[in-house]
């Protein structure tokens, strides 16, 4: 009799009977009892009360019984941790058993028991098993390390198990190698920053050797690991491809897809001129075709992966169109996926074959499939221009069938064909109008209305047709209402005398009788356009429309490259990156294909491959439009301002506390007088505007004609966030003019045009001084460099951080938003050199609480070199002294809003750390007083009324006032203080 008998018992009081049987002296009776316990546990009965009795059965030589007891332990150890410790001694003993199966079983079970109290006892047995003479024990122990790491990562690192695991990659047994790779990959996924899989040509060679001998799942682990490796050149990439190619003929579809992933990734590094490149393309097709002969579920997974491959490299399957033809017994999900791939592979060479097939599909009984087939005919017309006439003819034949849903889908796709090929196929409009009454779906009705409005001058009774739709205006869907409003306005502009009443009727319905805000707004816009400037209305409403793109549903290129790296995983089925659907604490590493051989983006290029440090400090992209505040018509993206808003007309810019947050955010320090953290750039990767360290060229910037520091360009808006538009740039100041130096790159598949830019209100009133001039449309994979002049006459609003700039960029696709930080020194004006006597008078009048101190590190320049370099950025040296071996530079600068800052810079010979004490004077030049508008010089009697607060208690300085002042300064490194504003009457403005 089979073991199924254990699952049929329904006796009561069974626990007591089992307890007695478990404590029996007869081995067979004990084994039967354990089987009954496991059966009860499997069907959901609580048998945890038998825990001590089952644990007592561990002391046995019978392997089957030991397995059953271990299975019970794994299930109940978590709920009975104190009792589970009783089994530890047996585990330790079993790890030294002569039988390798028992040793492996013991270490596997200990790894599966997720109880902290047991893990510390697991270390020693695990260490022995990792170096066991039997490969079965070693491969089991390798997986156990990954399980233990998941429970207690620190313990695994302290015990040195990770190093032992790395050593197992060089093991002589291929299955041990595969399990070691699997364990390291698992650990690396949960700790993306760790460099556990430090692959090199030698270790790759060992993995490729093991690939031929291990099991199919071992091969998948090794292939996935190979896919994460970056060959040093195309020769190494070709060598790996040659050794991986035999895996394409494997019987397991998962092995085939993993091999395809490796080959697709490394093909990026091969030149298309190589003979091997063409050979590899031919070898990839047969295994992909073979996958389509499996069960429907596997077919679907294969088709989703093939969809990605065809988008990346259509040439691989361009001769295999017939395998994607739909079979009568295919499930609907397979049919639709095949249909999609057929369109992607459609070309002039096979379009006749494809159209004949699609026409056949359009007569099927499955409504969803028929709709997709009709849409596919329209997509063929748009993709292959030579086939457009044949496609239109096929669609007309389908319309003649008078099948309602076929007619409606045909009208929708014919509208797209009109958009793609204007003034070419309008002769079919009469046939479309005949079917007007049968249209009941919103999309089809909207398409028909668009056609009537667009070609109203060719349709004699266009007004009657549109009026028939107007009768039930409020019952229509929003899509139809919007389209009807636009179509009637078009008709009015083309035939104004005949349709004046009709347009007034639709505008009244849209603006007065509708609750839909979109419809109402569009109605008001049209009404005002027509009533104020009919010529402008004609230019707007009847403007030439851009041609629709060939493939509107292609995956965005950067996302496609990432998905290619995930072939054979759920990401390739969902067509989404793992970060979009994997939840949890584990970090998801974004993968990408290697740069193509001979492409302009080399691996060494800082723009093509920014370092991890730079990536972390990229400015954040402003969230989607729905999350933004303000009027989007003005592109006013300002965050909410705490407190009542300031009226720009009544308060001068200089008198507003724009620097209320102090220089902290600009120079890298915290608020107040706390000791700074990383207050100034200590490495080469300092972010833009991170502090005065940039002015010493510590970040590898470039100089301009005037010697001012310019930070290297960084990516402000990644292509993934902006539908293929990538924006990188920097800021510069040359000869008194501020400019934003931009690089616009089109990484999408369609042409970009009609660029415009606008800034949100910001702390210093930065605004574009001219429109964004992109003189020619930006083609795919093309870049253009633009220098946009800026001024400081824009609207002012305090930002956090102070030098934050929010930008909106518009093109023909959409409006995109991002924020970046501009460097403070672009605001330093050329007339910032204060007279020596005025400097002396002003220095002593600055309140003590305005003083701060911080350090600039890793700057090995002399005092003269520093003075010269800073002068290039409009920071002027007023005086220089040498005190106790230290060079002390006294400097002044002025911001664009009239605020002065005085500073003392200490430089000690042979010490690369400079000490800076900025003293913000913060007296605006245009003072808010009677006679505002004239300049009040710093140090004048009018101003000195406010300055006496800081200077009255101080004794008059000697001839060299800064020496006594320096002596009073604390040597501690302090972060910059907040600035304080003093008005003409001595009042404090914060």
Contacts 24+ apart (CB under 8 A), 554-558: 554/311, 554/749, 555/308, 555/311, 556/719, 556/720, 556/723, 556/724, 556/747, 556/748, 557/719, 557/724, 557/747, 557/748, 557/749, 558/592, 558/718, 558/719, 558/720, 558/724, 558/747
Q: Are strands 783-791 and 876-883 parallel, antiparallel or unpaired?
A: unpaired
Instruction: Determine the pLDDT at residue 60.
Output: 74
DSSP state of 890: E
Using DSSP's 3-state secondary structure scheme, residue 737 falls into: strand
CA distances from 774 to 309, 351, 718, 730 (A): 34, 38, 19, 18
Q: Are 334 and 342 in contact (CB under 8 A)?
A: no
Residue with tokens 């047969």: 286
* 512: its two tokens: 């007065």
Distance between CA 526 and CA 924 in Å, rounded?
A: 47
Q: Are 790 and 783 in contact (CB under 8 A)?
A: no
* 288: its two tokens: 């992909």
String of b and e for 907-934 (b: at least 16 CB within 10 Å)? beeeeebbbbbbbbbbbbbbbbeeeeee
Distance between CA 25 and CA 30 in Å, rounded?
A: 8
- Where the chain has pLDDT below 70, the residues are 1-14, 82, 192-195, 549-553, 584-590, 595-707, 850, 919-990
Distance between CA 52 and CA 22 in Å, rounded?
A: 10
Query: In angstroms, how far is the first alpha carbon of the chain from the final one?
Result: 90
Distance between CA 202 and CA 305 in Å, rounded?
A: 31
Q: Which of 553, 557, 545, 546 minimizes the C-alpha distance to 379?
A: 553
Q: Are 347 and 381 in contact (CB under 8 A)?
A: no
Handedness of CA 367, 368, 373, 378 (dihedral sign): positive
CA distances from 244 to 171, 231, 241, 261, 390 (A): 20, 14, 5, 10, 44
| Cα-based torsion angle of the residue sequence 192, 195, 197, 201 in order, rounded to the nearest 10 degrees | 130
Q: Which of 834, 825, 959 minimizes the C-alpha distance to 902?
A: 834
Q: Give the pTM.
A: 0.58
- Tallying the residues shown for the chain, one arrives at 990
What residues contact residue 981 under an 8 Å CB cut-off, 6+ apart?
A: 655, 657, 922, 923, 924, 988, 989, 990
Q: Are 920 and 893 in contact (CB under 8 A)?
A: no
Instruction: Determine the pLDDT at residue 688.
Output: 36
Distance between CA 77 and CA 88 in Å, rounded?
A: 11
Q: Are 970 and 853 in contact (CB under 8 A)?
A: yes
Instruction: Determine the pLDDT at residue 678.
Output: 34
* 733: its two tokens: 């100041």
Summarised one tens digit per residue, pLDDT across range 646-664 is 333 333 333 333 333 333 3
Using DSSP's 3-state secondary structure scheme, residue 770 falls into: coil
Other CB atoms within a 10 A radius of the CB of residue 665 amount to: 24
Q: Which of 523, 468, 457, 525 minimizes the C-alpha distance to 492?
A: 457
What residues contact residue 966 under an 8 Å CB cut-off, 6+ apart?
A: 883, 888, 904, 906
Taking each helix axis from N to C end, the angle separating 234-244 and 216-227, rounded to the nearest 10 degrees, works out to: 170
The radius of gyration of the chain from alpha carbons, rounded to an integer in Å, stands at 37
As to burial, measured by CB atoms within 10 angstroms (0-12 exposed, 13-18 middle, 19+ buried), residue 532 is exposed
What residues contact residue 658 under an 8 Å CB cut-off, 6+ apart?
A: 763, 764, 796, 798, 802, 897
Q: Are 176 and 138 in contact (CB under 8 A)?
A: yes
Using DSSP's 3-state secondary structure scheme, residue 272 falls into: coil
As to burial, measured by CB atoms within 10 angstroms (0-12 exposed, 13-18 middle, 19+ buried), residue 951 is middle
């Amino acid at each position: 009799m089979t073991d199924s008998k254990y699952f049929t018992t329904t006796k009561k009081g069974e626990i007591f009977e089992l307890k007695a049987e478990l404590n029996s002296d007869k081995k067979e009776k004990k084994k039967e009892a354990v089987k009954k316990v496991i059966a009860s546990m499997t069907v959901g009965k609580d048998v945890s009360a038998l825990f001590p009795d089952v644990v007592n059965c561990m002391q046995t030589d019978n392997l089957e019984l030991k397995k059953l007891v271990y299975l019970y332990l794994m299930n109940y150890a978590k709920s009975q941790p104190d009792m589970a410790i009783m089994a530890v001694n047996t585990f330790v003993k079993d790890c030294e058993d002569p039988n390798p199966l028992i040793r492996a079983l013991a270490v596997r079970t200990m790894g599966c028991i997720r109880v902290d109290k047991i893990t510390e006892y697991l270390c020693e047995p695990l260490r022995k098993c990792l170096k066991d003479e039997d490969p079965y024990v070693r491969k089991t122990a390798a997986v156990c390390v990954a399980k233990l790491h998941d429970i207690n990562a620190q313990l695994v690192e302290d015990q040195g198990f990770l190093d032992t695991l790395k050593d197992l990659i060089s093991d002589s047994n291929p299955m041990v190698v595969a399990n070691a790779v699997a364990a390291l990959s698992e650990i690396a996924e949960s700790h993306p920053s760790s460099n556990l899989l430090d692959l090199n040509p030698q270790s790759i060679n060992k993995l490729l050797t093991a690939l031929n001998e291990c099991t199919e799942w071992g091969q998948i682990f090794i292939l996935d690991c190979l896919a994460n490796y970056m060959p040093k050149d195309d020769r190494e990439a070709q060598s790996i491809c040659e050794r991986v190619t035999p895996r394409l003929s494997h019987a397991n579809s998962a092995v085939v897809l993993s091999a395809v992933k490796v080959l697709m990734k490394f093909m990026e590094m091969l030149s298309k001129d190589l003979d091997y490149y063409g050979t590899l393309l031919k070898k990839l097709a047969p295994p992909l075709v073979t996958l389509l002969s499996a069960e429907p579920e596997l077919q679907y997974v294969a088709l989703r992966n093939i969809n990605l491959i065809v988008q990346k490299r259509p040439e691989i399957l361009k001769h295999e169109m017939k395998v994607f033809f739909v079979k009568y017994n295919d499930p609907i999900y397979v049919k639709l996926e095949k249909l999609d791939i057929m369109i992607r592979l459609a070309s002039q060479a096979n379009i006749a074959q494809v159209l004949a097939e699609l026409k056949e599909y359009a007569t099927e009984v499955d409504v969803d499939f028929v709709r997709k087939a009709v849409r596919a005919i329209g997509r063929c017309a748009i993709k292959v221009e030579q086939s457009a006439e044949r496609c239109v003819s096929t669609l007309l034949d389908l319309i003649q069938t008078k099948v309602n849903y076929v007619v409606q889908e045909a009208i929708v796709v014919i509208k797209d064909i009109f958009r793609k090929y204007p003034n070419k196929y309008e002769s079919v409009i009469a046939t479309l109008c005949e079917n007007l009454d049968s249209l009941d779906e919103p999309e089809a009705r909207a398409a028909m209305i668009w056609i009537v409005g667009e070609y109203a001058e060719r349709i004699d009774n266009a007004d009657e047709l549109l009026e028939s739709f107007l009768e039930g205006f409020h019952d229509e869907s929003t899509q139809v209402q919007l389209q009807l409003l636009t179509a009637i306005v078009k008709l009015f502009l083309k035939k104004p005398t005949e349709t004046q009443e009709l347009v007034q009727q639709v505008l009244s319905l849209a603006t007065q009788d509708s609750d839909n805000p979109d419809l109402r707004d569009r109605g008001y816009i049209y009404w005002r356009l027509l009533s104020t400037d009919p010529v402008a209305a004609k230019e707007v409403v009847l403007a030439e429309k851009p041609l629709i793109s060939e493939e509107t549903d292609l995956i965005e290129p950067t996302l496609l490259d990432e998905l290619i790296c995930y072939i054979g995983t759920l990401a390739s089925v969902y067509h989404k990156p793992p970060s979009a659907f994997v939840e949890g604490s584990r970090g998801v590493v974004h993968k990408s294909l290697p740069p193509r051989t001979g492409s302009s983006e080399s691996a060494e290029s800082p723009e093509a491959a920014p370092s991890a440090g730079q990536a972390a400090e990229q400015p954040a992209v402003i969230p989607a439009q729905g999350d933004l505040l303000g009027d989007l018509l003005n592109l006013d993206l300002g965050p909410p301002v705490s407190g009542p808003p300031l009226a720009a007309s009544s308060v001068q810019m200089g008198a507003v506390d724009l620097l209320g947050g102090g220089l902290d955010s600009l120079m890298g320090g915290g608020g107040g007088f706390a000791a700074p953290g990383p207050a100034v750039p200590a490495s080469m990767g300092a972010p833009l505007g991170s502090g005065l360290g940039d002015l010493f060229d510590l970040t590898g910037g470039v100089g301009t004609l005037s010697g001012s520091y310019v930070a290297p360009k960084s990516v402000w808006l990644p292509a993934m966030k902006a539908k293929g538009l990538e924006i990188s740039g920097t800021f510069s100041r040359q000869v008194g003019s501020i400019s934003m130096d931009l690089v616009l790159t089109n990484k999408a598949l369609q042409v970009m045009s009609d660029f415009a830019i606008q800034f949100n209100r910001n702390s210093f009133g930065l605004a574009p001084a001219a429109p964004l001039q992109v003189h020619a449309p930006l083609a795919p994979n093309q870049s253009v460099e633009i220098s946009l002049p800026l001024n400081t006459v824009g609207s002012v609003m305090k930002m956090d951080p102070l030098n934050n700039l929010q930008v909106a960029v518009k093109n023909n696709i959409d409006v995109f938003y991002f924020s970046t930080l501009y460097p403070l020194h672009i605001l330093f004006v050329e007339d910032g050199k204060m007279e020596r006597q005025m400097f002396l008078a002003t220095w002593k009048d600055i309140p003590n609480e305005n003083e701060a101190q911080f350090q600039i590190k890793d700057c090995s320049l002399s005092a003269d070199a520093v003075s010269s370099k800073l002068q290039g950025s409009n920071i002027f040296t007023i005086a220089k002294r040498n005190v106790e071996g230290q060079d002390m530079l006294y400097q002044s600068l002025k911001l664009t809003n009239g605020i002065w800052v005085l500073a003392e810079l200490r430089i000690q010979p042979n010490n690369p750390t400079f000490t800076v004490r900025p003293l913000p004077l913060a007296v605006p030049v245009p003072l808010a007083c009677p006679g505002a508008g004239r300049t009040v010089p710093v140090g004048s009697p009018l101003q000195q009324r406010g300055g006496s607060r800081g200077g009255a208690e101080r004794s008059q300085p000697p001839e060299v006032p800064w020496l006594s002042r320096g002596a009073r300064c604390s040597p501690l490194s302090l972060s910059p203080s907040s600035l304080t504003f003093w008005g003409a009457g001595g009042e404090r403005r914060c």
